[in-house]
A and B are shown apart, each in its own frame.
Chain A
Amino acid sequence: MIGNRKDLLGLEDVSAEEIVRILDTARVMREVLDRPIPKVPSLRGLTAANLFFEASTRTRLSFELAEKRLSADTVNFQTSGSSVSKGETLRDTAANIEAMGIHLVVIRHQASGAPHYLAKVLKAGVINAGDGTHEHPTQGLLDVFTMREHKKRIEGLRVAILGDILHSRVARSNIWGLTKLGAKVTIAGPSTMMPAEVERFGVTVAKSVDEAIEGADVVNILRIQLERQRAGLYPSLKEYSRVHGVTRERLRRAKPDVLVMHPGPMNRGVEIAQDVADGENSVILEQVTNGVAVRMAVLYLLAGQEAAGVVATETQTPNVEAAKSHAEPTLSPRR
């Protein structure tokens, strides 16, 4: 388990030590993924439910893969065609799932705070896979993990987060994770997409994308939702691209070894230029791979408690022993 927590709802209330422990564990998981048979028995006997009340492809696949790599049984639930469309309440949906003997619930929901509600009413552990415009903690963790793997440290790192901060759960989780580990975070984006009193996060608000990119070690570019234009927050995508899009030209202001990141899916040619997305500084696909490792780490650590009640049958592998130096408990569930 991470601290004494049953759930991972956001990075706001996770300590720097806990984050480091997750990142260290994720490194071990990354090694697991590089093996010929990338699977360990750690969560055998546990069942994880992936509840996706909002459309998602990569996050759902990433979680499902992480669960399978740890040998958990998985069930998936998606809103379309489910009983939610028949008027069932969130509580009933969750209670029914728990009645089926689920140990861990991964939830993506369009309402901020929905995972917090589930965490309150369920005995099962709850992992927030993105709630409304609040947080997306595993995305924040995988971004920090990717930065740390490349830059070796987070403290003092200059990270620019660019785009629609107001509606971005990725931005919030990044900001909490990075500031807790001592990074210097600068944000920039259209003023209509800047949340109220955002500087209270402990970030610097730049006047322009250029100013934010200046001297950056990392540039994390957020997806611009196409419907924001209709909501009157921005005149046109063309204007957005011109004023806020990250181009090769603009990227020259950053350090030469700058990391270019994006949580996906990208609007190529809008918030990120084609040659930036595919350029030598881009680690966008690596983020996807790391996402599986980070989610394995979170599942594994949260399942610490759950696993205690499950009969473990598998012996440990040498790599699992190595994990002990980074993070107890072991990769194999306790009896």
Chain B
Amino acid sequence: MPNPLCLRGGRVLDPARGIDRVQDLWIENGKIAGLGEDAPAALRNRKDVEIVDVKGAVVAPGLVDIHVHLREPGQEEKETIETGTRSAARGGFTTVACMPNTSPPLDDRPSVEYVVRRAAVSASCRVLPIAAVTIGQMGEALVEFEDLVNAGAVAFTDDGKPVKNAEIMRRALELTKPLGVPIIQHAEDPDLKGSGVVHEGWVSTRVGLKGIPDIAESVMVARDMLLAEVTGGRVHVAHMSAARTVEVLRWAKQRGIAMTGETTPHHLVLTDEAVATYDTNTKMNPPLRSARDREALIQGVIDGTIDCLATDHAPHTDIEKDGDFDNAPFGIVGLETALGLYMKALVEPKHLSLGDLILRMTRNPLQVLGRDGGTLAAGADADVTVFDPAQRWTVRAAEFASKARNMPFEGWELSGKILITLVGGSVTYRAETLAGSAR
């Protein structure tokens, strides 16, 4: 166990408990020991406490991302659990849930246990594996849900592909309901999507790239809403991109259906205008959509229709992204730019307070998985993110801890500079610019 730690003089922001004031945060034995005067006197008087001056910075619960592609096993040329979680730590994340579309997919106990084991020896943050809904993500035979939950799976998804068959989706919801875990749907009707590569609209018309209509997503979310209502199972909608999808989810919540949703940074800061240069780093699935869709997503985040904020961190090699648009793979990396982009999309324009943003990146995503946490309450794991909301920094892919560089934000100036990331009281990332700690 490292020495006890005191983060001194920061603005402690713990929105889940309504706390926002300048005070010290005390950590001992990997747990939060207390805030300010509430910390045990015995600890405050100890001489071996490492004191880190974080004046001017925000001290928040560790960020959580429930939509990350770590690519291990099988696609280690793109990313590994080691590099992906280092990237997470550098972005202020202390927990990530990883997607099962690996090679082979995470559809049985050995493969889920493999991720748990690899994470134990190589990860820089907590890794929660999400398992496939169907064997091989082929959409036909269901996985052994109960066995996989016991092995560590926190949710099920065929992400990368939808669960297309409504009967399979219905049975999956029925079988996972007693386990208390959601089915995460990559909502996309494959027939409506066809071979589309960008949002269907004026930009696709102009640049001659095949469109993916917004209804490819919304139609399936509407179907899943009814399946969730009938079965009582929980559906979480991954990477929401379209205004119509927000409307469907809002309706579902009004009907009291157990349904949640997430969106990504890129869908909040970019529109399909970005693809007009054929930059393959603007190719993602679901695609960047219209300005109207972007506004509806922001409104959905503000009013809580969209429960939480994820990244859909999707690493690819430079070689794969080098070439024409049609043949490039979908997806961009997002862990190291997420906080800055969400600040830009939501906090800087005053759509959300900083606390409301943190809530959507900490407690809310955990709640989607049916888990507690995301606070700085005494006794909780000391998963902490320290960042300077005012400090401007420039995005440089060459500095990423991720193996991958594929993203369209090179050179963007963002705020929300991550200074320190702690997982269980241990430092997993520390910015070079941080002033040295004093004893």
Residues of A within 8 A of B (CB): 12, 89-91, 109-114, 116-117, 131-135, 169, 172, 195-198, 200-201
B209 touches A113 (CB 8 A): yes
A135: contacting residue among B208, B322, B326, B327, CB under 8 A: B208
Q: Can you give 29 A-B contacts (C-beta < 8 A)?
A: A89-B319, A89-B323, A90-B324, A91-B322, A112-B207, A112-B208, A112-B324, A113-B207, A113-B209, A113-B278, A117-B323, A117-B324, A131-B208, A132-B208, A132-B209, A133-B208, A133-B209, A134-B209, A169-B208, A172-B206, A195-B204, A195-B211, A196-B202, A196-B204, A196-B205, A196-B211, A197-B202, A197-B205, A198-B205
B209 touches A112 (CB 8 A): yes
By a CB distance below 8 angstroms, the chain A residues around B277 are 116
Q: Shortest distance in angstroms between A130's beta carbon and chain B's nearest beta carbon?
A: 10
A134: contacting residue among B201, B207, B327, CB under 8 A: B207
A114 touches B324 (CB 8 A): yes
By a CB distance below 8 angstroms, the chain A residues around B200 are 196
B323 touches A90 (CB 8 A): yes
A109 to B209, CA, bound (A): 13
A172 to B322, CA, bound (A): 26
* Closest B residue by C-beta to A90: B323
A198 to B205, CA, bound (A): 7
B201 touches A111 (CB 8 A): no
By a CB distance below 8 angstroms, the chain A residues around B204 are 195-196
State whether the Cβ of B161 lies closer than 8 Å to any Cβ in chain A: no
> Which positions 192-241 of chain B face chain A at CB distance < 8 Å?
200-202, 204-211
> Known contacts A111-B326, A114-B324: does B208 contact A200 (CB below 8 Å)?
no
A172 to B208, CA, bound (A): 9
A5 to B202, CA, bound (A): 26
By a CB distance below 8 angstroms, the chain A residues around B319 are 89
A172 to B278, CA, bound (A): 17
By a CB distance below 8 angstroms, the chain B residues around A196 are 200-202, 204-205, 211
B326 touches A12 (CB 8 A): no
By a CB distance below 8 angstroms, the chain A residues around B324 are 90, 109, 111-114, 117
A117 to B202, CA, bound (A): 21
B322 touches A112 (CB 8 A): no
Q: Shortest distance in angstroms between B428's beta carbon and chain A's nearest beta carbon?
A: 37
By a CB distance below 8 angstroms, the chain B residues around A90 are 323-324
Most B CB within 10 A of own CB, among A12, A111, A198, A200: A111
By a CB distance below 8 angstroms, the chain B residues around A111 are 324-327
Q: Shortest distance in angstroms between B138's beta carbon and chain A's nearest beta carbon?
A: 24
A200 touches B202 (CB 8 A): yes
B211 touches A113 (CB 8 A): no
Most A CB within 10 A of own CB, among B208, B278, B323, B327: B208
Q: Shortest distance in angstroms between B257's beta carbon and chain A's nearest beta carbon?
A: 31
A-B contact count (CB 8 A): 65
The 10 closest A-B pairs by CB, nearest first: A134-B208, A113-B278, A195-B205, A111-B324, A112-B208, A197-B202, A133-B208, A111-B326, A114-B324, A113-B325
Interface string of B173-207 (1 = CB under 8 A from A): 00000000000000000000000000011101111
Q: Shortest distance in angstroms between A66's beta carbon and chain B's nearest beta carbon?
A: 24
By a CB distance below 8 angstroms, the chain B residues around A134 are 207-209
By a CB distance below 8 angstroms, the chain A residues around B202 are 196-197, 200
A197 to B319, CA, bound (A): 34
A44 to B278, CA, bound (A): 34
Interface string of B284-319 (1 = CB under 8 A from A): 000000000000000000000000000000000001
B278: contacting residue among A89, A91, A116, CB under 8 A: A116
> Known contacts A91-B322, A91-B323, A196-B200: does B206 contact A112 (CB below 8 Å)?
no
By a CB distance below 8 angstroms, the chain B residues around A198 are 205
A196 to B207, CA, bound (A): 12
A116 to B206, CA, bound (A): 14
By a CB distance below 8 angstroms, the chain A residues around B209 are 112-113, 132-134
Give 19 new A-B contacts, CB below 8 A, not counting A132-B208, A134-B208, A135-B208.
A12-B206, A89-B319, A90-B323, A91-B322, A91-B323, A109-B324, A111-B324, A112-B324, A112-B326, A113-B324, A116-B278, A117-B278, A117-B323, A134-B209, A195-B205, A195-B211, A196-B202, A196-B211, A197-B202
A132 to B210, CA, bound (A): 10
Q: Shortest distance in angstroms between A186's beta carbon and chain B's nearest beta carbon?
A: 17
A72 to B307, CA, bound (A): 63
Q: Shortest distance in angstroms between A20's beta carbon and chain B's nearest beta carbon?
A: 23
A165 to B325, CA, bound (A): 21
A89: contacting residue among B201, B208, B322, B326, CB under 8 A: B322
A200 to B207, CA, bound (A): 13
A197 touches B208 (CB 8 A): no
B325: contacting residue among A12, A89, A112, A135, CB under 8 A: A112
A111 to B205, CA, bound (A): 14
B201 touches A197 (CB 8 A): yes
Q: Shortest distance in angstroms between A123's beta carbon and chain B's nearest beta carbon?
A: 18
By a CB distance below 8 angstroms, the chain B residues around A135 are 208
By a CB distance below 8 angstroms, the chain B residues around A200 are 202, 205
B278 touches A112 (CB 8 A): yes
By a CB distance below 8 angstroms, the chain A residues around B322 are 89, 91
* Closest A residue by C-beta to B201: A196
B210 touches A133 (CB 8 A): yes
Most B CB within 10 A of own CB, among A112, A117, A132, A201: A112
A91 to B324, CA, bound (A): 9
Q: Shortest distance in angstroms between A98's beta carbon and chain B's nearest beta carbon?
A: 16
A135 to B201, CA, bound (A): 17
Q: Shortest distance in angstroms between B196's beta carbon and chain A's nearest beta carbon?
A: 11
* Closest A residue by C-beta to B290: A197
* Closest B residue by C-beta to A135: B208
A127 to B210, CA, bound (A): 22
A31 to B278, CA, bound (A): 39
* Closest A residue by C-beta to B213: A196
A135 to B208, CA, bound (A): 8
By a CB distance below 8 angstroms, the chain B residues around A117 are 278, 323-324
> Which positions 396-411 of chain B face chain A at CB distance < 8 Å?
none
Q: Shortest distance in angstroms between A171's beta carbon and chain B's nearest beta carbon?
A: 10
By a CB distance below 8 angstroms, the chain B residues around A201 are 205-206
* Closest B residue by C-beta to A200: B202
A91 to B318, CA, bound (A): 12
By a CB distance below 8 angstroms, the chain A residues around B327 are 111
